[in-house]
Structure 1
Amino acid sequence: MDQNDIQNKVIENYQRDENMMILVFAQWCVNNDLNPETLYEKAYPDQIHNPALKQSIELVVPKEESEHIPDQTVIGVLSLFGNDDLAFVVSEEVEKRSKKEK
């Protein structure tokens, strides 16, 4: 493999992993009766029409068919990819839910 092939492979892997992160976020939202587009817009108001988010939303399953996604997992995955604003919004939703459960 030459340098260009390696760079392309790294980019391809990152994009695949980023899409998985978005899918985890979207599925977590559905599992918690939240709208992923609404939360995303809170974090990134200038990026309302994110094609990767729309594609991921099409792939989510009903919460009854989904595995449980722990809150800390989605927050960690978002932070890992530098989506700290979105991780903060998710944290706020977790806190709201915790207060309701008390």
Structure 2
Amino acid sequence: MKRSERDQFIIDQYKNDEKMMVLIFTQWCVNHGLDPYVVYEEAYPHERKNNAITEALEQTVSKKESEEISVEIVQHVLQLFGNDDLAFVVQQYADAKSK
């Protein structure tokens, strides 16, 4: 594999992993009756509408069809991609729901 091919492979893999992170976050929101746009906006109020969330919502399933996704899993994948603010907001929602 040439250097440019390897670089492109790494970039493509990162993009696929990032899409999976957004899907996990979005499915967690669906499972908890939350609007992922609202949750995202709380973490990043100055950003535009996130098109990745729109794409991920097309792939989510109903809460009934979904496997359980723990808040720890969501936080972990968000933090892997540097979304610490979003992970914090997710934790706030989880804490509020458990009270």
Task: Find the aligned partners of 1:48 and 1:94 in 2 and give their Cα distance.
Answer: 25
Which amino acid in 1 is paired with 2:13? N
Give the drift of 1:50.
Answer: 1.4
Task: Find the aligned partners of 1:98 and 1:34 in 2 and give their Cα distance.
Answer: 14
Give the drift of 1:40.
Answer: 0.5
Task: Find the aligned partners of 2:17 and 2:7 in 1 and give their Cα distance.
Answer: 15
Task: Find the aligned partners of 2:59 and 2:96 in 1 and give their Cα distance.
Answer: 27
Match of 1:46 in 2: 46
Runs of 4+ with >6 A deviation: none
Please tell me whether the aligned partners of residues 37 and 48 of structure 1 are also in contact (alpha carbons under 8 angstroms): no
Number of residues of Structure 1 aligned to a counterpart in Structure 2:
99
> Which protein is richer in helix relative to its size?
1
What is the aligned-residue RMSD (CA, Å)?
0.8
Give the drift of 1:46.
Answer: 2.3
TM-score, scaled to structure 1: 0.93
Q: In percent, how many aligned pairs have the same letter?
A: 46
TM-score, scaled to structure 2: 0.96
- Stretches of structure 2 lacking an aligned partner (at least 5 in a row): none
